[in-house]
Structure 1
Amino acid sequence: MRSIRQRGFSTLLPIPHRTIPEARGQDLDLITVAHSHVIHSHWHKLHSLSLSLTPFRLAHLLLALQNDHVSSLKLWNWVLQHSPSSHTLQSLSIVAHTLAKHRQFKTLQRILSSHPPSTLFDSLLHTYRLCHSSPLVFDSLFKTLAHTHKFRDATRVYVLMKEHGFSPTVESCNAFLSSLLSLRRPDIALSFYREIRRSRVSPNVYTLNMAMRAYCMLGELNRALEILHSMTDIGLRPNVVSFNTLISGCCNKGLFGMALKVKSLMGEHGVQANVVTFNALINGFCKERKLHEANRVFSEMKVAKVVPNVVTFNTLLNGYGQVGDSEMGSRVYEEMKRNGVKADILTYNALILGLCKEGKTKKAAGLVRELDKENLVPNASTFSALITGQCVRNNSERAFLVYRSMVRSGCCPNEKTFQMLISAFCKNEDFDGAVQVLRDMLDRLMSPDSSTLFELYDGLCRCGKNQLALQLCSEMEARRLLPEGFDKDKIIITLPQNEKTN
């Protein structure tokens, strides 16, 4: 965005006017015949001319079809299949201008997305006057690059558009903002937002909603709130997405008082809370393990006659599962079934986790058997929950068998699962098993946290396997997988004197 800010656009660059030589003689004859075949859809007759269709002749033919975008597009597709050698950037540009003039933007963006963007703008610019085109052709290019996440190219096109006096539409600017946020680049999104506010582009409510989201992602909730309050000053009305964005941002920061205040503002603006509003609040409370407050919001949701969906129930179930309250999880699940909401793998994973946290592994296994009946496939979270259950029961051998089954099924354990297994083996003083899991973990380029590693190394040293501990430490250090905060010198201190000197 720096290059945008540095340019003042006080002096616009002229739009070049490039012409092509007039068609004469055999060129004109072939163009006339081909034009007749195209407008009458005599494609079989056009085949005999394919070898004679030079880039020059194709350009003239496309120019002659500018008022018929349907035939122009059909010819373009025919050329790509039967005479690709006649295709040039100039012919692409003429087709693009034709589609832009007839407002065929979806087709235009599809065509533009299939070509390298480096020289597209220049080619479109040099054929702009030749085709008596619309400025929206450049806007479509900008939007296409935004949708395909080619941000450097999109920024370059934006700058060039402004330099030549073409303003992007707010819709294309919104596409750019949306793509930046989808890749979690709120800093660049806000820089671009400030740029379009300085320019002649009038933001709409979607623009401001994305600016709010960007501020929320950066944790700058007061700035997001300022945008919400400023909407009415510029003639815009905040919608339900505006409030939901801010509520979600507050919940992510644990600012539930502020989130509830924002929810109360919805009524003042005549905006009804929807399922996303309540889900955001429930999710926030569940993450903080404030299940009583989450249940209260769930009750408010039903009073407001907002129908809970699968996300609502899964969020609550996961909240109760994380704290090991299988009884409340079962109640929520029964209500879910009464409401006719179909359970998915996330539903079962939450129920299984709740049971496993309480060590109820047999009941959890019963739910796993139900998955096949529901045409659901266990995933990494399912196996991790089952491993948790065996670890709670201090059954490291069964936990390891579940882990092996997990790997065979193609599911990838995460750091938490590995650390849980290592800790379980250590508690059962099966340090060979713990080392085997650690090696599997290192093979996946993961490293345990320092506390788990201390637990393992302390056990190895206590049973006289100091040299193995030191060897593992060296291996992890060589592979740059030694966790921060782990003091390898503590291992050396515990080694016998003869091992230190070897």
Structure 2
Amino acid sequence: MSANNFVRTLKNAKRIYAPKPYQHLVNLLSKTPLSSPTKLLDSTSTSLLAKLSPTTLRLILSDPNLTSSKCLRFFSFLLINQSSISFEPDIHAHITLICKLLKARNFPEAENLFRSASLGENSSYPFPVFSSASEICCYDPRIKAKLLNLMLKVYSDTGNFDEVSQTFDYMRSNGIKIDERTCTRHLLALKRADKVGVSLDFLYKMVKAGLEVSVYSLTVVVEGLCYNGEIRRSRELVEDMVGRGTRPNIITFNKMVDSCAKRWNFDELDLVLLLMRKEGVEFNVKTYGILIDGFVSYGKVKEAQMLIHDMHDIGFKVDVHLFNLMIRGYSRLGFMDSAFSLLGEMAERNMFQNGDTYWGLISGLCKIGKMGQAMFYIDEMQNKGIELDDVMFNTLINGFCNKGMIDKAFEWQVTMENKGFNADLSVCLKIMGELCESNRTEEARMLFNKMVKRGAAPQLASLASFVNI
């Protein structure tokens, strides 16, 4: 007898299928409602259930002649009606069925069964118990790899990060293929849990395990580091991973650029942009938007304007949002001529001015006391159907107060109230102060009472004597 024939004969000799009566029982219970009491079964079926043993149950669940769906139905029936059998299905039964479901590519049911066994209310199976059982019950290396990767996923999704680490180390030690996408999923879970240090350590565990780390996995960790303000560390990670063969893309760089711009960390930004050029990654529209926003918010309007010109030269569309950012930046610095120039450019490009456009202009005009011009744009805005929001109202009223136009300030405060908005406390205090100085105590008292109803009494104490309260 050849060696191959001998091995085949030996394998066949080891195949012990479930006894025929039990196959009939499985077929019967697979058609019976799960919650159906066992008294609805015939006496033969009830007797078979009573005689069922853990070993026979495993034989049934591993029987290739029985489909995974029938076995699952049978097993679910036993779990619900445990009084019909003399034992509680153990971890080996669970693993056997989970592997059968995985082999049939019924991943959702396999995951549900593992969740109930490992994380259910009455579960007492930590990872070492599962790993030991898998060595006994799962012979197919492919299915075992799927089982362990499933365990990685479930542990990660449920925040059992210690078990993830144990599962990963077990797979690595035993040469079991680890799914990089499952690892990425875990990195995302760690980021959501704000475990940035753990995610960085796990990424390097992936590297040491010989996994081909995707740019997506790298970007997840970079985003977590940047969110916590560790920009330098994120850049150094990218530089290190480039040397290991994982090249960052525009999404990776935009995460770092955004973090630098929002924190006005321009020294680190220069290093990130240098690395970006070194890797040959070009700016996209989002990169320009991030940089323009950061420069404008800091007051580097000229630098932002140069980026706008670059976008025009390249052929990128400069949208309304970017124009609004520039108008707001110029207005904040008091460069209203430049702001109006951009407004004219928007008109030439047939771009629709929205509420943010007018907010930038009006806030700038109010800041320098040009209330007549501010009202011109208020009227123009309202004629286009754009309503004032609470921020615009407060800015306008504050501008009138600073200009000494108390009648207008009080009038707009009433209009604001009629629109369902409440003026800021600081604005109301200014109005009341001006009214008191003008001996208009009745109007001041009316506004004072409204502010008290809003719960601002402690802040108004200094004005109480002026309004005779």
User: Which TM-score band (shorter chain)?
Assistant: 0.5 to 0.7
Structure-1 separation of matches of 2:388 and 2:71 = 55
The answer on 1:63 being equivalent to 2:99 is yes
1: CA distance, partners of 2:345 / 2:175: 63
Q: CA RMSD in A?
A: 4.5
**312-321 or 404-413: which moved more?**
404-413
Cross-structure match for 1:247 = 292
In the other structure, the counterpart of 1:143 is 188
Structure 1 pair 132/286, CA: closer, same or farther in 2 (3 Å)?
same
Q: CA deviation at 1:190?
A: 3.5
**Does 1:238 pair with 2:286?**
no
Partner Cα distance (1:407, 1:181) in 2: 44
Q: 1:164-198 CA distances to partner (integer Å, 9 max, x unpaired)? A: 22343222332333344444444444444444444
Which residue does the alignment assign to 2:55? 25
Note closer, same or farther for the CA distance 1:250–1:43 as it changes in structure 2 (3 Å cut): same
Aligned partner letter, 1:59: I
Aligned twin of 2:35: none
Aligned to 1:363: 411
Given that 2:118 and 2:126 are in contact with CA atoms closer than 8 Å, whether structure 1 keeps it comes out as no
- Judging changes above 3 Å, is the alpha-carbon distance between structure 1 residues 109 and 63 closer, same or farther for their aligned structure 2 residues? closer
Q: Structure 2-normalised TM-score?
A: 0.66
| Distance (whole Å) between structure 2 residues aligned to residue 212 and residue 349 of structure 1 | 33
2:256 is the counterpart of 1:211:
yes
Check the 8 A contact 1:146/1:175 in 2, yes or no. yes
Query: Which secondary structure does the structure 2 equivalent of 1:367 belong to?
Result: helix
Distance in 1, matches of 2:376 and 2:145, equals 61
Map 1:253-264 to 2 at 5 A. Answer: 253-264=298-309
> Aligned letter for 1:384?
S
Structure 2 equivalent of residue 173 of structure 1: 218
TM-superposed CA distance for 1:266, in Å, is: 1.0
Which segment is superposed worse, 323-332 or 27-36?
A: 27-36
What secondary structure, in the 3-state scheme, does the structure 2 residue paired with 1:149 have?
A: coil
Cα separation, 2, equivalents of 1:291 and 1:70 = 61
Quick check: 1:320 aligned with 2:365?
A: yes
CA spacing shift, 1:192–1:319, aligned 2, 3 Å: farther
Q: Does 1:117 align with 2:165?
A: no
Contact 1:146–1:154 under 8 Å retained in 2: yes
SS of equivalent residue, structure 1 residue 212: helix
**Cα pair 2:94 2:114 within 8 Å, conserved:** no
Distance (Å, rounded) in 2 between the aligned partners of 1:28 and 1:395: 92
Equivalent residues in 2 for 1:62-461 (5 A)?
A: 62-66=98-102, 67-76=105-114, 84-85=122-123, 88-89=126-127, 98=146, 112-127=156-171, 132-217=177-262, 219=264, 221=266, 224=269, 231=276, 234-341=279-386, 343-358=388-403, 359=406, 360-372=408-420, 377-378=421-422, 382-393=424-435, 409=454
**Secondary structure, in 3 states, of the residue corresponding to 1:85?**
coil
* Pair 1:164–1:82, CA change in 2 (3 A): closer
Amino acid at match of 1:362: F
Whole-angstrom distance in 1 between the partners of 2:153 and 2:126: 18
Consecutive unaligned residues of structure 2, counting only runs of 5 or more, are 1-52, 135-142
Letter in 2 for 1:122: Q
Structure ranking higher on relative contact order (CA contacts 8 Å, 6+ apart): 1
C-alpha separation in 2, matches of 1:341 and 1:41 = 65
1:36-73 Cα offsets, whole Å, 9 max, x none, are: 45756995665235993444433333233223222223
Q: Tell me by how many angstroms 1:202 deviates.
A: 0.9
State the match for 2:42 in structure 1: none
- Name the SS of the counterpart of 1:166 in structure 2: coil
Do the aligned partners of 1:80 and 1:87 also contact (CA within 8 Å) in 2? yes
SS of the aligned residue for 2:253 comes to helix
CA distance in 1: counterparts of 2:231 and 2:314, whole angstroms: 27
Structure 1 stretch 35-44 or stretch 299-308: which is displaced more? Answer: 35-44
Residue 334 of structure 1 aligns to which amino acid in structure 2?
A: D
Question: 2:310, 2:191 → 1: CA distance?
Answer: 34
Give the Cα separation in 2 of the matches to 1:174 and 1:35. 39
Distance 1:119 1:258, change over 3 A: same
Q: Percent identity between the aligned chains?
A: 17
- Equivalenced residue count is 390
Tell which deviates more after alignment, 258-267 or 331-340. Answer: 331-340
Shift of 1:278: 1.4
> Structure 1 residue 134: deviation in Å?
1.4
Q: Larger Cα Rg: Structure 1 or Structure 2?
A: 2
Q: Which amino acid aligns with 2:100?
A: A
Q: CA deviation digits over 1:78-118, x for unaligned, max 9?
A: 6689764156447999999759979xxxxx97972431424
| TM-score for the superposition, normalised by structure 1 | 0.62
More displaced, 264-273 or 120-129? 120-129
Structure 1 CA distance, aligned partners of 2:448 and 2:246?
56
Stretches of structure 1 that go unaligned for 5 or more consecutive residues are: 1-22, 103-107, 434-502
User: Structure 2: how far apart are the matches of 1:407 and 1:84?
Assistant: 56
